[in-house]
Copies of this chain bind each other. A is one copy, B any other.
Amino acid sequence: MYLSGKICKVEIYSDAHFMKLAYQEAEKAEARDEVPVGAIIVSDHQIIARGHNLTETLNDVTAHAEMQVITAAANTLGSKYLWDCTLYVTLEPCPMCAGALFWSQISRIVYAASDVKRGYRTVNSKMLHPKTKIESGLMEEEAAEILVNFFRKKR
């Protein structure tokens, strides 16, 4: 756009861009020997929270990437409701995280890989908030591969 004769570049980042950053969070988890899952929350094209799984480091089953970014995003916004926010997460949320996302009334969730064993859909595919839009499959292969490789090394 033009403003005072100068060109102002407005960059609107894509879902692919934000999922890549969520994936980078998963890589940080892997480097800590944590199950590699990463998450980002975006509001108004800005990242307001980023995090990765820390269940082993914190010795706490509740320390999933999603739980941390829900808390951090609410703190940043000063609101416990994550309206007009998008969660990018590398793995389908588990029932705990889906339950938290329900309470947050988040607008949109984009997840990469499906979790056929422990994903929320194994419990109830309709447990998210009716206002929440859900998309999946972006960077699915990479997000699944980092997990498969992690568990292969553990065997």
Contacts and interface: CB of A to CB of B under 8 A. Distances in A.
A71 interface: yes
A103 B53 CA distance: 14
A28 interface: no
Nearest to A105: B61
A124 B80 CA distance: 25
Interface residues of A, number: 28
A94 to B, nearest CB: 6
Which residue, A60, A70, A75, A80, has most C-beta atoms of chain B within 10 A?
A60
Contacts of A123: 95, 99, 123-124, 127
B60 A74 contact: yes
Interface of A: 55-56, 59-62, 67, 70-71, 74-75, 78-81, 94-100, 102-104, 123-124, 127
7 contacts: A59-B79, A60-B70, A61-B81, A62-B62, A62-B67, A96-B99, A98-B99
A13 to B, nearest CB: 26
A104 B103 CA distance: 21
A38 B62 CA distance: 18
Contact of A95 (B59, B74, B78, B127): B127
Contact of A97 (B55, B71, B74, B99): B99
